[in-house]
Amino acid sequence: MASNCSERQRIAQQRLKIIAGHIQKDEDGEPTRIFANNCKGEDADKHSSSTTTMPKRRQEIMKWNGWGYSDSRFLFNKKGQAEFTGKRYRLSGMILPSLKDWFEGTFGASLQHKTPAVPSLNSSSVQPPTLNEDFIQDLKTTGIQYSHEAEDRIFRAHGHCLHEIFALREGKFGRVPDMVAWPSCHDDVVKIVELASKHNVCLIPYGGGTSVSSALECPPEETRSIVSLDTSQMNRILWIDEKNLTAHVEAGIIGQALESALNESGYCTGHEPDSMEFSSLGGWVATRASGMKKNIYGNIEDLVIHIKMVTPRGVIEKSCQGPRMSTGPDIHHFILGSEGTLGVITEVTMKIRPIPEYQKYGSVVFPNFEQGVACLREVAKQRCAPASIRLMDNAQFQFGHALKPQVSSIFTSFLDGLKKFYITKFKGFDPHRLCVATLLFEGDRERVLQHEKQVYDIAAKFGGLAAGEDNGQRGYMLTFVIAYLRDLGMDYYVIGESFETSVPWDRVLDLCRNVKERIVRECKEKGVQFPPLSTCRVTQTYDAGACVYFYFAFNYRGLGDPVHVYEQVEHAAREEILANGGSLSHHHGVGKLRKQWMQESISNVGMGMLKSVKEYVDPDNIFGNRNLL
Partner 1 sequence: MASKTLYSQRDPSLKKRDDFEDILEERRNSSDLRYALRCYTPVLYKGMTPCKTTILKTIVLQSDQLHHVINQVAKETGEASDIIQEEAVNILEEMAHRLQLSTIRFFAFTLSKAFKTLFQSVRVNEEGIQRLQQAIQEHPVVLLPSHRSYIDFLIMSYILYTYDLALPVIAAGMDFLGMKFIGEMLRMSGAFFIRRSFGGDKLYWAVFSEYVKTMLRNGYAPIEFFLEGTRSRTCKSLTPKLGLLNIVMEPFFKGEVFDVSLVPISISYERVLEETLYARELLGVPKPKESTSGLLKARRILSEDYGSIHVYFGQPVSVRSLAQGRINRSQYNLVPRYIPRKPSEETQGFVNDTAFKLVRKQEENMVLRPWVLIAAILMQNLDGIDSVLLTEQTAWLRGLAQAFGAFLDWPGQEPVGKVVSSSLSLHHGLVRVAGGRVQLAQELQETASPKEALFNHAVCVLSCASYRNQILHVFLRPALLALAMDTAATSRKDDVYSSFVYLRNVFSNEFILCPGAMVQDFEEACYLLMKCGAVQILKQDIVVTERGQPILSFLSGMLEPFLQGYQVVCRYFSEEVSEDLAEKQYIPSVRSFAVKCILSDSIRCYEALSSDLQKNALAALLRMNALRKVKVADQATLKVNKMAVKMLEDTLGGKVPAQKPVLARL
Confirm or deny that 343 is annotated as ligand binding: yes
342 annotated ligand-binding residue: yes
Closest approach of ligand FAD to the CB of residue 628, in Å: 9
Residues 214-253 that bind partner 1 (CB under 8 A): none
Phi and psi at residue 151, to the nearest 5°: -60, -45
514 binds, among ligand FAD, partner 1, none (CB under 5 to 8 A by kind): partner 1
> How many residues make up the chain in this entry?
629
- Looking only at the bridges linking them, the beta strands covering 358-366 and 465-466 are antiparallel
Q: How far is Cα 88 from Cα 56, in angstroms, rounded to an integer?
A: 21
Contacts (Cβ under 8 Å, ≥6 apart) of 27: 16, 20, 260
Helix (H) or strand (E) holding 390: strand 388-392
- Tell which one of 415, 578, 598, 602 touches partner 1 (CB under 8 A): 578
Residues in 435-494 at the binding interface with ligand FAD, rule: CB under 6 A = 483
**Distance between CA atoms of residues 154 and 445, nearest Å:** 48
- Burial of 73 (C-beta count, 10 Å sphere; 0-12/13-18/19+): buried
> Is there binding between residue 580 and partner 1 (CB under 8 A)?
yes
Residues 68 and 395: their CA atoms lie apart, in Å, by 25
Residues 503-542 that bind partner 1 (CB under 8 A): 506-507, 510-511, 513-514, 517-518
CA dist., res. 536 & res. 399, Å (int): 12
- What is the DSSP code (8-state) at residue 222? -
Angstrom CA distances, 244 to 221, 269, 308, 531, 622, stand at 47, 13, 19, 54, 37
Q: Which does 587 bind (CB under 5 to 8 A by kind): partner 1, ligand FAD, none?
A: ligand FAD
Contact 92, 99 (CB under 8 A): no
- Which residue's CB is nearer to ligand FAD, number 344 or number 520? 344
290 annotated as ligand-binding: yes
Sign of the dihedral defined by the CA atoms of residues 350, 354, 355, 358, in that order: negative
Interacting stretch for partner 1, rule CB under 8 A, among 125-133, 247-255, 493-501, 575-583? 575-583
| 69 DSSP 8-state letter | B
Closer residue to ligand FAD (CB): 274 or 576 = 274
Task: List helix spans (H) across 108-161.
Answer: 133-142, 150-155
Query: Among 209, 232, 207, 208, which residue's Cα sits nearest to residue 35?
Result: 232
Region binding ligand FAD by CB under 6 A among candidate stretches 12-20, 100-108, 524-532, 581-589: 581-589
Whether the CB-CB separation of 207 and 183 falls below 8 Å is answered with: no
Q: Of 83, 68, 69, 73, which Cα lies nearest the Cα of 31?
A: 69
Q: Looking at 84, 103, 284, 397, which residue binds ligand FAD (CB under 6 A)?
A: 284
CB of 594 to ligand FAD, least distance (A): 12
Look at residue 511 and give the partner it binds from ligand FAD, partner 1, none, a contact being a CB closer than 5 to 8 Å depending on partner kind. partner 1
Q: What is the CA radius of gyration of the chain?
A: 24
Q: What secondary structure letter does DSSP report for 404?
A: P
Q: For residue 455, which of 387, 406, 526 has the smallest C-alpha distance? A: 387
Report the residue number, 210 or 260, with the smaller CB distance to ligand FAD.
Answer: 210
- The smaller minimum CB distance to partner 1, of residues 482 and 578, is found at 578
From the list 19-27, 170-178, 583-591, 595-603, the region that binds ligand FAD by CB under 6 A is 583-591
Query: Residues 424 to 453: which contact partner 1 by CB under 8 A?
Result: none
Q: What's the CA gap between 409 and 401, in Å, rounded?
A: 17
**Binding partner of residue 580 among ligand FAD, partner 1, none, CB under 5 to 8 Å per kind?**
partner 1
- From residue 323 to residue 362, the character string flagging contacts with ligand FAD as x (rule: CB under 6 A) and all else as - is ----------------xx---xx-----------------
Nearer to partner 1 by Cβ, of 378 and 469: the residue is 378
Maximum C-alpha span of the chain? 76
Beta strand 226-230 pairing with 179-182: parallel
- Active-site residue numbers? 549
- Residue 339 is labelled as binding a ligand: yes
Asked if residue 289 belongs to a known ligand binding site, the reply is: yes
Residue 109 or residue 281: which is nearer to ligand FAD going by CB? Answer: 281
Region from 104-112, 192-200, 280-288, 489-497 binding ligand FAD, contact rule CB under 6 A:
280-288
322 among annotated binding-site residues: no
345 in a labelled binding site: yes
Q: Quote the least distance from Cβ 275 to ligand FAD, whole Å.
A: 3
Is 72 annotated as contributing to ligand binding? Answer: no
**Which residues of the chain form contacts with ligand FAD (CB under 6 A)?**
159-160, 204-212, 215-216, 231, 251, 273-275, 279-280, 282-284, 286-287, 289-290, 339-340, 344-345, 483, 587-589, 625, 627
**Which residues of the chain form contacts with partner 1 (CB under 8 A)?**
506-507, 510-511, 513-514, 517-518, 578-581, 600
Binding residues for substrate: 486
Binding residues: 205-211, 287-290, 339-345, 486
